[in-house]
Each structure stands twice: as C-alpha cells, then as structure tokens.
C-alpha cells in the first residue's frame, strides 16, 4: 500500500489544536502548555511523522556560506579530486542556499595555511570543510571555531584529539595494515620492506604516522615481526635535487629490498625510478588514482593502489555540513570510506566519480 503523507494539519486535527501550535512544538519555540506539548509529541510519534526538510529549506530562502580550506592542486595534483567533489556538491546544493568559498593554500607551506585559515575565520562562515594536513598549526583554529560555534568537518586526515562535526576519509590505521597484508604475500623472508613518506612533513602529519603504525603492527600482530626488516624513510626532494638520488642512496644502504610502501599519492615517483634502474622484483603499493599512478599500474610497475576516494571525501564533506546546517539532520561523527584495492584488472570499475 502507498504510504500516506502525514501533514502538520493532520497532527493538529488529531490533537485538537492549531497548526501554529504543532509548528511551535516541532521547532521547540514559543510557549505551549505542557499537556498540549505532550499530546502533540505523542501523536507525532504515533503517526510516525517525518518533516519534509527539503521543503522547509526551500521555504526559508536562507543562504549558507561554507568555507573549504583545501591545498592547491597546482602544487600537488592529488587535490584536484577533492576540489572537484566540493564543486560537484555545491552545484547540487545551490538550490538550497548553499554556497562554498574555497580558500586555497600551499600544502608545503605552513604560513600559507595559517593565512588562509585566518581569512576564512574572519569571514565567519556557517561551517568549515578542511583537510588538516598541518597538525600543530590547525589546532588553535579548532578552538577558535568552537568558541564561534562554527561546525567543521575534517577530510583526508583524522585527528582524534578534537571534536569535529564529522570526519570523512579512510581509517588510516587499517589502511596501513591493509598495505602490509597485500605486500607480504609472496615476499621472501628476511627481505627489507621500505616505508616511504615522500615530500611530507611527517612528524606533523598525523595520518601518515598512523598509516605507518598500522603497517608495522600488521607484521607484529600476525607473528611475522622477525620475517621482514621494516625500515621507514622520509624523502623531501622539494628542497633540492631529484628523487632518484635519494632512492639510490636508500637502496644502496638497505640491502635486499623486496617491497616498498608509499604512504601518499607519490608511488609513481618510485615506480619511475625502479623502471629506470631495472629493478623488477620490488613490489610497490601506494595510493590514489592519479593519471601518473595509473600509467605505472597498467605497466605493472605499481602492483596495487589503495583508493582513498578523494573526490568522494570533498563531496560528502560538503554534504555533511549541509545536512547539519540546512536539513537539521543528526550527523555521525565518522564516515569511513571503503578501503578499495585497485589493480590493473579492476581499475576500470573505479574511474566513475563519487
């Protein structure tokens, strides 16, 4: 049977009161006698009334301004996908009065981030979506937004010591554990496994440290701690030189390297070096469906990619804020996205957006 739509008018008639009284009970505003309030609430529960939040938002004609603090994709192409997701969400939500202002900062420059975060704060947005890649620098802004009653959503990087409206992204610890598991299959015992953090301020990047922790714990918790020599290295060739020089030095120092885990989207940099050095027996896993990564995946130079769905992170980040601000919905504090293992064989199924 077709479900009957329950209207405020139906509740008012059953409660023997006016539509205005029911509206005041629903929105908890204005004076209503306690016995009337209880009667109305009982009827709302009995009729299983669900407010039409979309219609309410259209009727209100209010405008909501959301600040999106995101790294510059011209500096790091990884951020093209979250930005596309943000713009896609804004386009779909514009009819409900949602407008997104992007504050773009240099992902390798803490000062750039602070300046853009200060600018966004001065504009007093209704909500903030942020990729908090600079841990120490972002904490004072969380405190300030809390005092200003500005809800904020984190994406890409989870910080457990704060209380955002929501975090959207992967479980970094499990992500690292998954990388260890898929790399460990078929590896000869006593080989060296490299963990590479490339062009990152690793001590100030909570999600990378958590990935490495999950990676190492996989071997420890599965009785394989002594089978492989897990070595972590930070490579920053932005400060000068080329990555090849760094990798040559690491490979010369660490004997018998059997596998490499790149904790961000820069696996293609390592794949290019391995190809030039003709190192065919080193397994390589990294993250994200960047074109450069996909080229090496298709050439079998990258064995696996873990898809972090960066487009979906930006998209759902804006939607979570809209669900809270516009539609008054309860928001779960964490929205973990799936840990998808991408290979050459299943790649085509993951190229559609969101």
Kindly list the domain boundaries of the chain, sorted by start residue: 8-51, 59-170+310-338, 172-307
As a whole number, mean pLDDT of residues 53-61 equals 52
Phi, psi of 232 (to 5 degrees): -105, 135
As a whole number, mean pLDDT of residues 341-352 equals 89
Residue 318, classed as helix, strand or coil, is helix
Q: 3 versus 285: which is more confidently predicted?
A: 285
pLDDT band with cut points at 50, 70 and 90 for residue 349 = confident
pLDDT over 90 (residue 132): yes
| pTM of the entire predicted model | 0.79
As a whole number, mean pLDDT of residues 64-88 equals 96
As a whole number, mean pLDDT of residues 3-13 equals 75
Do the domains 8-51 and 59-170+310-338 sit in the same CATH topology, yes or no? no
By percentage, how much of the chain surpasses pLDDT 90?
68
Task: Note whether 262 and 270 are within 8 A (CB).
Answer: yes
State the Cα–Cα distance between residues 90 and 11, nearest whole angstrom: 35
| The pLDDT of residue 58 | 47
Transcribe 38-89 into DSSP letters.
HHHHHHHHHHT----HHHHHHHH---EEEEEEEE-TTT-GGGHHHHHHHHHH
Lowest mean pLDDT among 42-51, 177-186, 252-261, 264-273: 42-51
CATH number 2.40.10.340 given to 59-170+310-338: no
| The pLDDT of residue 258 | 95
pLDDT band with cut points at 50, 70 and 90 for residue 7 = confident
| The pLDDT of residue 56 | 53
| The pLDDT of residue 205 | 86
As a whole number, mean pLDDT of residues 181-203 equals 90
| The pLDDT of residue 2 | 44
Fold of domain 8-51:
434 Repressor (Amino-terminal Domain) (1.10.260)
Name the average pLDDT for the chain: 90
Provide the CATH number for the domain formed by 172-307 in this structure. Answer: 3.40.50.2300
| The pLDDT of residue 52 | 59
Q: Give counts: helices (H), strands (E), the chain.
A: 13, 12
Name the residue with tokens 């080229």: 295
pLDDT band with cut points at 50, 70 and 90 for residue 353 = low
As a whole number, mean pLDDT of residues 212-221 equals 94
């Amino acid at each position: 049977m077709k479900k009957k739509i329950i209207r405020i008018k139906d509740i008012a008639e059953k409660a023997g009161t006016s539509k205005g009284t029911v509206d005041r009970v629903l929105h908890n505003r204005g004076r209503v006698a306690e016995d009337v309030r209880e009667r109305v609430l009982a009827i709302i529960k009995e009729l299983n009334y669900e407010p039409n939040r979309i219609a309410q938002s259209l009727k209100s004609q209010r405008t909501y301004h959301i600040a999106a603090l995101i790294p510059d994709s011209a500096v790091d192409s990884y951020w093209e996908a979250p930005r596309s997701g943000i713009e896609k969400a804004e386009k779909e939500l514009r009819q409900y009065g949602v407008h997104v202002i992007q504050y773009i900062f240099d992902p390798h420059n803490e000062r750039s981030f602070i300046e853009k975060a200060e600018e966004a704060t001065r504009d007093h947005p209704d909500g903030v979506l942020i990729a908090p890649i600079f841990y120490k620098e972002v904490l004072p802004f969380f405190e300030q937004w809390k005092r200003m009653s500005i809800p904020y959503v984190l994406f890409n990087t989870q910080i457990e010591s704060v209380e955002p409206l929501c975090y959207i992204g992967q479980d970094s610890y499990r992500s690292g554990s998954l990388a260890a598991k898929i790399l460990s299959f078929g590896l000869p015992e006593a080989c060296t496994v490299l963990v590479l953090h490339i062009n990152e301020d690793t001590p100030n990047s909570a999600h990378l440290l958590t990935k490495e922790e999950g990676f190492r714990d996989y071997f420890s918790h599965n009785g394989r701690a002594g089978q492989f020599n897990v070595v972590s290295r930070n490579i920053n060739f932005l400060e000068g030189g080329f990555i090849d020089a760094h990798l040559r030095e690491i490979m010369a120092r660490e004997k018998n390297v059997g596998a490499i885990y790149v904790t961000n989207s820069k696996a293609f940099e390592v794949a290019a070096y391995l190809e030039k050095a003709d190192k065919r027996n080193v397994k390589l896993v990294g993250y994200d469906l960047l074109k450069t990564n996909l080229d090496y995946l298709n050439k079998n130079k990258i064995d696996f990619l873990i898809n972090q769905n960066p487009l979906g992170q930006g998209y759902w980040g804006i939607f979570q804020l809209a669900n809270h601000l516009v539609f008054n919905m309860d928001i779960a504090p964490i929205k973990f996205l799936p840990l998808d293992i991408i290979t050459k064989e299943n790649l085509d199924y993951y190229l559609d957006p969101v």
